Structure 1
């Protein structure tokens, strides 16, 4: 003689389980943002003529002390290498005519991701796989995962100690990719 067992769940138990599943799914979506694996954001900015954070000289100052460098000057440059996500493009540090500095990313191609930031690091591109290192400076949130973009380097930052530009995911503490910055010739 076979006897079938039937588990009877109360309405309260079913609702509690469903609520827990919905909350867990919501937290998972917010944390991982899986739709970013299927989206791209392209940004194409021109190299600025001057830094927006530097005060412009007055007419009197300009007449008294003309600048010998009329335009932007490349300081360092490097190609991105892949770390956690396929990444390519060029990173350049540029001194603008007004003395301000920008980190410029050109022909950038990487994955979109949650909370990706752009940093200058004192470590070389290979070493940042293990972390940004002491003295890293954030220059902004990644504007787009494709294209050409500029990030203002904070005034007073000494660029001589930085060895790489890094695309760093804050949420998961991983490098998407990094570029060793070498002095440019010319």
Structure 2
């Protein structure tokens, strides 16, 4: 009987160690607690003032700044892929010439390693991958609300067809929005 007990101890301890390691790796990869949490972000659209007359040297004593002018370049509504996703994506040119991707009224799931991309593929096609030339704009700041992502200088927005919420860990799209060019 003691030999049988030793055998079971010899197999039970390593089996428990392997099981604990597997659970630890699973928790790291899947982060299941994120199914029960939410992060809300409420950023204003970035703005800048145009140079005042005094700052530009064109007037003596005038120091009131003109309000900044922003311009919508494209916009679209999110469609659901792997996780329920809704809201609006807008590309905006700021008064200083910079460009941002603005997500408004975003609602999606939290997940491990979720990122925001611009993709050359249409929203329906990114279910199978982002496509060559996709540009990462950063980690998703929150799964709810309004947020801005700077678009790198020199990015030609005419090459991109959609904004994508992408889980890099599992290579899946949570949702995407086709970006239709704004009139004007």
TM-score using structure 2 length? 0.86
Q: Answer yes or no: is the 8 Å Cα contact 1:106–1:148 preserved in 2.
A: yes
Aligned runs of 1:24-173 on 2, under 5 Å? 24-50=22-48, 62-63=56-57, 70-173=68-171
The alpha-carbon distance between structure 1 residues 180 and 62, as it changes in their structure 2 partners (threshold 3 A), is farther
Provide the C-alpha distance between the structure 1 equivalents of 2:95 and 2:177, rounded to a whole number of angstroms. Answer: 25
The alpha-carbon distance between structure 1 residues 132 and 21, as it changes in their structure 2 partners (threshold 3 A), is same
Q: CA RMSD in A?
A: 2.3
Match of 1:176 in 2: 174
Runs of at least 4 residues of structure 1 off by over 3 A? 9-12, 59-64
Residue segments in structure 1 that go unaligned for 5+ positions in a row: 1-5, 51-55
Match of 1:53 in 2: none
Tell me the CA shift for residue 14 of structure 1. Answer: 2.3
Aligned to 2:176, what secondary structure does the other structure show?
strand
Q: Answer yes or no: is the 8 Å Cα contact 1:69–1:97 preserved in 2.
A: no
Tell me the CA shift for residue 62 of structure 1. Answer: 4.1
Q: Answer yes or no: is the 8 Å Cα contact 1:80–1:90 preserved in 2.
A: yes
The alpha-carbon distance between structure 1 residues 97 and 31, as it changes in their structure 2 partners (threshold 3 A), is same
Tell me the CA shift for residue 15 of structure 1. Answer: 1.9
Q: Answer yes or no: is the 8 Å Cα contact 2:137–2:151 preserved in 1.
A: yes
Tell me the CA shift for residue 71 of structure 1. Answer: 1.5
Tell me the CA shift for residue 49 of structure 1. Answer: 0.7
Aligned to 1:185, what secondary structure does the other structure show?
coil
Tell me the CA shift for residue 160 of structure 1. Answer: 1.0
The alpha-carbon distance between structure 1 residues 22 and 36, as it changes in their structure 2 partners (threshold 3 A), is same
Tell me the CA shift for residue 63 of structure 1. Answer: 4.8
Tell me the CA shift for residue 184 of structure 1. Answer: 1.8
Provide the C-alpha distance between the structure 2 equivalents of 1:62 and 1:99, rounded to a whole number of angstroms. Answer: 17
The count of residues paired between Structure 1 and Structure 2 equals 173
Q: Answer yes or no: is the 8 Å Cα contact 2:76–2:88 preserved in 1.
A: yes
Tell me the CA shift for residue 173 of structure 1. Answer: 0.4
